[in-house]
Amino acid sequence: MKSTVFSVFKIARRSSLLFLIIIFFSGLLIACGPKKKYVGPYLPDEEIAIIKPDDKMFTPVKIISIDKNVPLYTDESSVAVHPGTHTLFLEAALDYPFLDKYLYFNQYLTFNAEAGQVYTLYASILPMKKVGFSWITSDMDPEKFIVKKYAVGLIPLSTYP
């Protein structure tokens, strides 16, 4: 009798552990893909464009919204959009560990996205000149700027969240 009870608990533990593992990996797969930020049905990869921010160490750049009405969340790493003209609202901050103040700017960038392309958004701040700029490149030709824009009105912050 005693061994039967323990075997039932072992089976229940294994099945619940398996269930939790399946849920965890399903959530992980869903969270890793680009977020759909367009109206309409899901389209295959060759019919959409992907926009992703660069992950440079000292100048992180975030996409705040797309087309002035689609907000993004801080944990989104890439965004899927329809081909066509899009306006990104971005945030860039200089985050060097030895500087007293952080330099920061927000900016709108408008560009034309093509189907099947992956675009990367970059930003850079030169602290000595107090100048910033952002640009977008395509993964097909990373040396060519799709759009480049200088930032006006860099804001010094004492802390950056």
pLDDT in tens, 44-89: 778 899 999 887 777 888 888 888 777 776 556 788 888 999 999 8
The closest alpha carbon to 48, from 121, 114, 139, 136, belongs to 114
Residues 67 and 8 in one domain: no
pLDDT in tens, 9-54: 455 556 666 666 666 655 555 555 555 555 556 777 788 999 998 8
Instruction: Report yes or no: 41 and 48 within 8 Å, Cβ to Cβ.
Output: no
Tell me the pLDDT of the chain averaged across its residues: 76
Please state the length of the chain. Answer: 161
Q: Tell me, what's the pLDDT at 77?
A: 72
Residues 55 and 106 in one domain: yes
Residues 145 and 70 in one domain: yes
Q: Is the pTM of this model over 0.75?
A: no
Work out the pLDDT band at 109, boundaries 50, 70, 90: very high
| Stronger pLDDT, 102 or 107, i.e. the higher one | 107
Residues 54 and 120 in one domain: yes
Residues 2 and 22 in one domain: yes
Residues 110 and 152 in one domain: yes
Residues 62 and 2 in one domain: no
Residues 15 and 83 in one domain: no
Q: Tell me, what's the pLDDT at 119?
A: 94
pLDDT at residue 8 above 50?
no
Name the CA dihedral angle for 105, 111, 117, 120, rounded to a multiple of 10 degrees: -10
Range of the domain at 16: 1-32
Instruction: Say how many domains are in the chain.
Output: 2
**∠ CA 61-59-112 to the nearest 5 degrees?**
35
